[in-house]
Amino acid sequence: MKTTQLLHNLGQSLWLDNITRDLLNNGTLKRYIDELSVTGLTSNPTIFDHTIKSSAAYDTAIREGLAKGRTGETLFFDLALDDLTRAADLFRPVHDGTNGVDGWGSLEVSPLLAHETAKTVAAAKELSARAGRPNLFIKIPGTKEGLPAIEEAIFAGVPVNVTLLFSREQYVAAAEAYLRGIERRIAAGLNPQVGSVASMFISRWDAAVAGKVPETLSNRLGIAVAGRIYKAYLDQLSNPRCQRAYNHGARPQRLLWASTGTKDPKASDILYIKALASPFTVNTMPEATLKALADHGELASTMAPDGGDCEQVLAEFVKAGIHVDALAARLQDEGAKSFVKSWNELLAVIASKGDALKKSA
């Protein structure tokens, strides 16, 4: 049995951190579903930037969009929704079979709205409505301005993937925003079954401190932070407010491990996959990491419910001069800026490709 199947059997959902039209057209995504236990996927501006730049699969759609006067963000969301609704349809049997727990795709609102609450909510509602699929998350960053947008989107019945979370405190704030939205639905007599995941970015922690800490601490910060977050997640699932909401029919917001591709070439290519094995969570992994797991992966033990030695390890980082809370804030801010950069590059690629297609027509 493949390790991907073993991990799935353990209770963790394996999602692909990638989407391209080629993956859809050539049947690769369907094969990952059938053979590698993939039950969902995520997308982001960087992924679309790379695939539109390197593939001719979008050329016809871009040409047709331009002929209809579609440009910029409008044209991009046409392309993205075409891909993600197709993916959502492939995952629909999983979604239906798990009663909405699994089988999701994700589409991000414009990163340019990361600090604009009202516009983020409006964009989330519009994208969800345009998709017309029950198993598509709208990604909203867990920034200070994003938190009220998450609450409002959940209250409006829009499934949300809370992105750009790095620390326990950021996770708890996002979980509270989700719960407030659910509680408001219950109070209003609305169905509280609105799906959500909270996406914790892991490998960026280790990339941020690479070369700045003793070798004994290399590639250990992200996993230690994850241990702290996992304990907070289990505490959240069992707190009385959440349980009251569950009693009304709400479902838990699941924890999602993101940024799980190994950045350090000297480390195992499945370092974070092995360390983050945990039931009732999601691990969304790059395509190369998924293949590595299927090819030569092996599982040891699952994450300790109490966080294991995470606090001792984090204390060692503090002694080494790493201020974890300050670094979490910096990583979230840098993450938001990098998404904006990728977004602008993506729009430039679409414009450039559109110009080239016009000239070749």
Q: Calculate the alpha carbon distances from 266 to 210, 263, 269, 315, 345 in Å.
A: 12, 9, 9, 24, 30
| pLDDT tens, position by position, 36-72 | 999 999 998 888 888 888 888 999 999 999 999 999 9
The predicted pLDDT at position 356 comes to 86
CA 173, CA 179: separation in Å to the nearest integer? 10
The mean pLDDT value for 3-12 works out to 96
The predicted pLDDT at position 361 comes to 65
Report the Cα–Cα distance between both ends of the chain, in Å, rounded: 51
| pLDDT tens, position by position, 136-186 | 999 999 999 999 999 999 999 999 999 999 999 999 999 999 999 999 999
Q: What strand order describes the sheet that includes 254-258?
A: 38-41, 12-16, 281-285, 254-258, 196-201, 160-165, 136-141, 105-108
| pLDDT tens, position by position, 269-324 | 999 999 999 999 999 999 999 999 999 988 888 999 999 999 999 999 999 999 99
Residue spans of the domains in the chain: they are 3-356
Alpha helical stretches, state H, 116-268: 117-131, 146-155, 168-187, 203-209, 221-237, 240-247
CA 196, CA 142: separation in Å to the nearest integer? 13
Q: Is 139 a catalytic residue?
A: yes
| pLDDT tens, position by position, 71-105 | 999 999 999 999 999 999 999 999 999 999 999 99
Average pLDDT over all residues of the chain:
95
Backbone φ and ψ for 329, nearest 5 degrees, come out as -65, -40
Q: What is the Cα 240 distance to its own chain's centre?
A: 27
Of residues 30, 139, 341, 353, which has the active-site annotation? Answer: 139
The mean pLDDT value for 204-224 works out to 97
Is residue 116 pLDDT above 70, yes or no?
yes
Residue of higher predicted confidence among 5 and 361: 5
CA 300, CA 277: separation in Å to the nearest integer? 9
Q: Tell me the pTM.
A: 0.96
Q: Is the separation of the CB atoms in 131 and 84 below 8 Å? A: yes
CA 69, CA 235: separation in Å to the nearest integer? 51
What fold, for 3-356? TIM Barrel (3.20.20)
DSSP secondary structure of 244-276 = HHHHTT--PPEEEEE--S---TTS-TTHHHHHT
